[in-house]
């Protein structure tokens, strides 16, 4: 099985000396710059100086090599580790943690797939804050090593991120000043809460937010990314149901769709037993018969965003479930103004992507034909 180095995490450097090192990759922590080079699938750490200069290399308390060049074989269990180099009198020159990453695209730390994704992101409003969560696989538990987040592709590549003393709160800003997002890692390690400090609820979103999480377990490092518009991940709060009288209930917003489902033992709003015909209504009230459970949930009317969680109202002993799916009207003036423009833009993006794929396929076909002719 092959591995490759993804990043180096510089923990600290002795103040007494400042030797220069050549490294094979970039660093995870912000404000650390190291030049590097690769040699096959291994990682070479070199101290500039004479070829035969005596440098002591250690892993933990174990001495592993002498000389000014140290070669690390990149394997998950034996390649990564905490390495230090010293002068012969044991004075610390530098220490580094080496992390490795599989060359294949298979993920091992978080549950999910490339099709379904590894992170679930949502927001309750259009104020610029959002939350992303994940689940660890049954065999591994990871730790968030780094967070990078930006709005817009160009800013995502050039963003500068800093972390506070706790190591849990990250702030990422672009040099253009158009992206300024702060994220805090949950104490459980199972998610992040972020706020886009440049977000304006009255303007159309022209660029997606790209969130990248670097997850570590032992010395294995994996990268997880997700891109989205806030309008795509709006998950409304649960709809509030109020009892008007003994036979009528009402909720906060007009309901656009009703689904009634037969109720049997063990059935619920999230897992109905039998689904019957759909009905529609513009009313925010519903007459409740005896022995029924009413379920209501909401979705933003302008975007294909997540549904809210079900709100369940039960009358006394029940046998029937009514499930109401509500499309919410616009919360901000700009959403109705810009919805057509946004849909048109996304349609154009899709068309451009399809055209690009066709050109690539055509180019591959031509190259294949040229190759067969030359042979």
pLDDT for res 253 = 63
Q: Are residue 248 and residue 215 in the same domain, yes or no?
A: no
% of the chain exceeding 90 in pLDDT: 16
pLDDT for res 343 = 62
Contact between residue 315 and residue 334 where contact means Cβ atoms under 8 Å apart: no
CA–CA distance, 218 with 143 (Å, rounded to integer): 9
In a domain, 176, yes or no: yes
Mean pLDDT of all residues belonging to the chain: 71
Q: Residue 7 CB: number of other CB atoms within 10 A? A: 21
pLDDT for res 74 = 60
Confidence of residue 275 (pLDDT cuts 50, 70, 90): low
Distances (CA, A) of 91 to 60, 81, 95, 202, 286: 15, 20, 12, 59, 78
Q: Are residue 223 and residue 178 in the same domain, yes or no?
A: yes
Contact between residue 143 and residue 214 where contact means Cβ atoms under 8 Å apart: no
Query: What length does the chain have?
Result: 375
Total domains, the chain? 4
CA–CA distance, 234 with 302 (Å, rounded to integer): 11
Q: Are residue 24 and residue 78 in the same domain, yes or no?
A: yes
CA–CA distance, 210 with 226 (Å, rounded to integer): 6
Q: Which domain holds residue 195?
A: 120-232
pLDDT for res 192 = 96
Confidence of residue 330 (pLDDT cuts 50, 70, 90): very low
Contact between residue 205 and residue 230 where contact means Cβ atoms under 8 Å apart: yes
Q: Are residue 178 and residue 96 in the same domain, yes or no?
A: no
In a domain, 107, yes or no: no
CATH at residue 197 = 2.60.40.10
Stretch among 18-22, 189-193, 349-353 having the lowest mean pLDDT: 18-22
Confidence of residue 341 (pLDDT cuts 50, 70, 90): low
In a domain, 115, yes or no: no
In a domain, 187, yes or no: yes
Q: Are residue 139 and residue 228 in the same domain, yes or no?
A: yes
Asked which of 176, 210, 232 is the last residue of a domain, the reply is 232
Q: Is the dihedral of CA 213, 307, 353, 201 positive or negative?
A: negative
CA–CA distance, 135 with 140 (Å, rounded to integer): 10
Q: Are residue 26 and residue 98 in the same domain, yes or no?
A: yes
Confidence of residue 91 (pLDDT cuts 50, 70, 90): confident
Higher pLDDT, 166 or 271: 166
Residues 237-274 pLDDT 10s? 788 888 888 778 887 765 555 544 445 555 667 766 55
In a domain, 109, yes or no: no
Stretch among 100-114, 141-155, 205-219, 248-262 having the lowest mean pLDDT: 248-262
CA–CA distance, 336 with 343 (Å, rounded to integer): 11
Q: Are residue 19 and residue 66 in the same domain, yes or no?
A: yes
Higher pLDDT, 305 or 325: 305
Establish how many alpha carbons lie within 13 A of residue 128's alpha carbon, considering only the half-sphere containing its beta carbon: 16
Q: Please give the average per-residue pLDDT across 211-227, as a whole number.
A: 89
Distances (CA, A) of 298 to 49, 250, 305: 67, 14, 10
CA–CA distance, 93 with 86 (Å, rounded to integer): 5
Instruction: Please say if the pLDDT value at position 338 is more than 70.
Output: no
Instruction: Please say if the pLDDT value at position 216 is more than 50.
Output: yes
């Amino acid at each position: 099985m092959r591995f490759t180095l993804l990043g180096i995490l510089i923990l600290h450097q002795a103040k007494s000396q400042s030797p220069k090192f050549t490294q094979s990759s970039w660093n995870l922590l912000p404000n650390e710059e190291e030049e590097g080079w690769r040699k096959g699938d291994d990682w070479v750490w070199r101290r500039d100086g004479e070829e035969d200069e005596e440098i002591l290399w250690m892993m933990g308390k174990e001495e592993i090599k002498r000389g000014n060049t140290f070669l690390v074989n990149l394997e998950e269990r034996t390649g990564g580790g905490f390495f230090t180099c010293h002068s012969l009198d044991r004075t610390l020159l530098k220490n580094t943690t080496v992390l490795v990453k599989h060359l294949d695209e298979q993920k091992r730390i978080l549950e999910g797939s490339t099709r379904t994704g590894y992170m679930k992101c949502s927001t309750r409003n259009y104020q610029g804050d959002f939350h992303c969560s994940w689940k660890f696989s049954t065999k591994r538990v990871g730790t968030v090593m780094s967070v990078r987040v930006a709005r817009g592709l160009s800013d995502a590549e050039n963003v500068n991120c800093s972390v506070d003393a706790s190591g849990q709160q990250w702030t990422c800003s672009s040099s253009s000043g158009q992206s300024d997002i702060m994220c805090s890692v949950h104490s459980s390690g199972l998610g992040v809460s972020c706020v886009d400090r440049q977000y304006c609820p009255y303007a159309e979103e022209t660029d997606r937010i790209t969130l990248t999480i670097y997850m570590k377990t032992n010395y294995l490092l994996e990268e997880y990314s997700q891109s989205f518009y806030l309008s795509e991940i709006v998950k409304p709060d649960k709809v509030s149901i109020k009892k008007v009288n003994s036979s009528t209930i009402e909720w906060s917003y007009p309901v656009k769709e009703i689904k009634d489902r037969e109720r049997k033992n063990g059935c619920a709003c999230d897992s109905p037993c039998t689904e019957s015909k759909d009905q529609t209504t513009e009313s925010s009230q519903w007459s409740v018969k005896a022995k029924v459970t009413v379920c209501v949930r909401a979705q933003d009317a302008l975007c294909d965003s997540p549904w809210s969680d079900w709100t369940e109202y039960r009358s006394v002993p029940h046998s029937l479930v009514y499930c109401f799916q509500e499309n919410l009207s616009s919360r901000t003036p700009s959403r109705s103004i810009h919805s057509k423009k946004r849909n048109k833009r996304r349609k154009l993006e899709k068309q451009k992507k399809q055209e690009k794929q066709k050109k690539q396929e055509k180019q591959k076909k031509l190259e294949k034909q040229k190759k067969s002719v030359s042979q």
